[in-house]
Chains A and B, each alone.
Chain A
């Protein structure tokens, strides 16, 4: 318990809240890296998932990405990205570039899987009816499939974000910033209060990510539900 009390004291110590190694700077680094990674992952995974779900082509690709994605050791891919960047562009090797590269690869599978499954799950009869009413492929995708897949897509982005925030911590092991810095440094310096305080900060950030995105999901939910209902009304039939 002694260590825990010291860790809490470390957290409220004013000197740990300023400077380049201060909690605000490290938190910002952590959030920046995570936001960049999730944004790039979504920019790649959502269009790809929509394409596979809508056309039903290359489905094996979505399945393989889902299976292999789960098996990749996050620490391994981060280290490989680090070594590659170190070889190709040594100036960028510390922190941001290799971390974001690895995090994008880890962030893609959940978003891709959920987007694809979400689109694919839209009732086939409903899609057929929409086509029968003269909606173009573009209208079917944007007006029907995307709104109905939004909830699952959001769940994918949430899962992806929590994974990314958690893994961004490991960036400190390859010389990057982020809140993981306190854990790795605390470890190297045998500074237990710093180590535990860093762990608390990282855990709080991950839990906050989960909670905030859960809230966003609930705010979006009624709108998408009514849009789904709107689509069904417009098509005059009940989707499964």
Chain B
């Protein structure tokens, strides 16, 4: 099958020869991820505060973000192109949409898990509502929020490869190109680089979370079971 490629070089050679391109695509992948998660957070935080303060809004908010989450990525990217073109904007609208459900759910769960005694004590000490939120509730909700950011980041990194259809796929670009010329090395490079990036980002964020929330370090458990998925 490699016959379609003129004199196919061995895989490691190909990767070495194309290191500049791979590097550029990786940088694009990182940028797309960072923008998506940042905008996702900027939208999710006010939405979550709304859902937390006014409990009745939680169901409609999760219903709507759940609807966005259910739409297959290829369909969303494709449906947007007649309106926003083959642009970073199109990719980001889709990517941001998918982070919302994960982030909102985790932020609200985190805020709701802050014990009433703690809030009562803070109020007794004269904290205003705003001080309570930023100095007590948000810091104590951090582990759940950080978990949400990790899941959102990891799934965004995977989804970006699909945005290769509209030319903004980061490392996914290698997969599309490899499929076009049927060159396995290129497909594998794109897929594995994306996988490694996702695992590395997950580990990095976990490390950052531990560094930022030293008070959670007391509860060290040898084995943490995975959390069940689904709504």
CA distance A207 to B231 in the complex (A): 14
Q: How large is the interface on B (under 10, 10 to 19, 20 to 34, 35 or more residues)?
A: 35 or more
Indicate if B90 sits at the interface (CB-CB under 8 A): no
A79/B178 in contact, CB under 8 A: yes
B227/A71 in contact, CB under 8 A: no
Indicate if B195 sits at the interface (CB-CB under 8 A): yes
Q: Which residues of A contact B151 (CB under 8 A)?
A: 70
- Closest chain-B Cβ to A49's Cβ sits at a distance in Å of 11
Instruction: Name B's interface SS.
Output: helix
Known: A120-B225, A156-B229, A180-B74. A73 touches B82 (CB 8 A): no
Q: Which of B159-200 contact A (CB under 8 A)?
A: 159, 161-162, 164-165, 172, 175-176, 178-179, 182, 184, 187-188, 190-192, 194-195, 198-199
Q: Which residues of A contact B71 (CB under 8 A)?
A: 166, 202-203, 206-207
Choose, from A126-134, A157-165, A218-226, A231-239, the stretch at the interface: A157-165
CA distance A183 to B78 in the complex (A): 7
Q: Which of B75, B179, B188, B229 contacts A173 (CB 8 A)?
A: B179
A155/B228 in contact, CB under 8 A: yes
CA distance A193 to B128 in the complex (A): 54
CA distance A184 to B195 in the complex (A): 25
CA distance A173 to B73 in the complex (A): 13
Q: Which residues of B contact A73 (CB under 8 A)?
A: 157-159, 161, 172, 191, 194-195, 198
Q: Which residues of A contact B179 (CB under 8 A)?
A: 79, 82, 173-174
Q: Which of A131-167 contact B (CB under 8 A)?
A: 152, 155-156, 158-159, 162, 165-167
Q: Which residue of B lies closest to A68 (CB)?
A: B199
Q: Which residues of B contact A74 (CB under 8 A)?
A: 158, 161-162
Choose, from A16-24, A35-43, A111-119, the stretch at the interface: A111-119
B70/A202 in contact, CB under 8 A: no
Indicate if A122 sits at the interface (CB-CB under 8 A): no
Q: Which residue of A lies closest to B188 (CB)?
A: A80
Instruction: Name A's interface SS.
Output: helix
Indicate if A50 sits at the interface (CB-CB under 8 A): no
CA distance A50 to B17 in the complex (A): 48
A75/B67 in contact, CB under 8 A: no
Q: Which residue of B lies closest to A209 (CB)?
A: B70
Q: Which residue of B lies closest to A87 (CB)?
A: B1
Q: Which residues of B contact A167 (CB under 8 A)?
A: 72
B230/A158 in contact, CB under 8 A: yes
Indicate if B76 sits at the interface (CB-CB under 8 A): yes
- Closest chain-B Cβ to A170's Cβ sits at a distance in Å of 6
Q: Which residue of A lies closest to B184 (CB)?
A: A83
Known: A76-B191, A79-B191, A80-B191. A169 touches B1 (CB 8 A): no
CA distance A73 to B179 in the complex (A): 15
Known: A67-B202, A75-B164, A155-B230. A165 touches B191 (CB 8 A): no
Indicate if A187 sits at the interface (CB-CB under 8 A): yes
Indicate if A177 sits at the interface (CB-CB under 8 A): no
A186/B225 in contact, CB under 8 A: no
Known: A67-B202, A86-B182, A184-B165. 17 other contacts (CB 8 A): A73-B195, A75-B161, A75-B162, A76-B187, A76-B191, A116-B226, A155-B229, A166-B72, A195-B78, A195-B82, A196-B82, A199-B76, A200-B79, A206-B75, A207-B70, A207-B71, A210-B66
- 9 shortest interchain CB distances as A-B pairs: A76-B191, A155-B230, A166-B72, A199-B79, A71-B198, A199-B75, A66-B226, A202-B75, A73-B158
26 A-B contacts (beta carbon < 8 Å): A59-B223, A63-B224, A63-B225, A73-B172, A75-B172, A77-B191, A79-B187, A80-B187, A82-B179, A83-B188, A87-B1, A110-B229, A113-B226, A116-B226, A117-B227, A118-B228, A155-B229, A155-B230, A159-B229, A159-B230, A166-B73, A169-B74, A173-B165, A173-B179, A187-B78, A202-B71
Q: Which residues of B contact A (CB under 8 A)?
A: 1, 66-67, 70-76, 78-79, 81-83, 151, 154-155, 157-159, 161-162, 164-165, 172, 175-176, 178-179, 182, 184, 187-188, 190-192, 194-195, 198-199, 202, 223-231
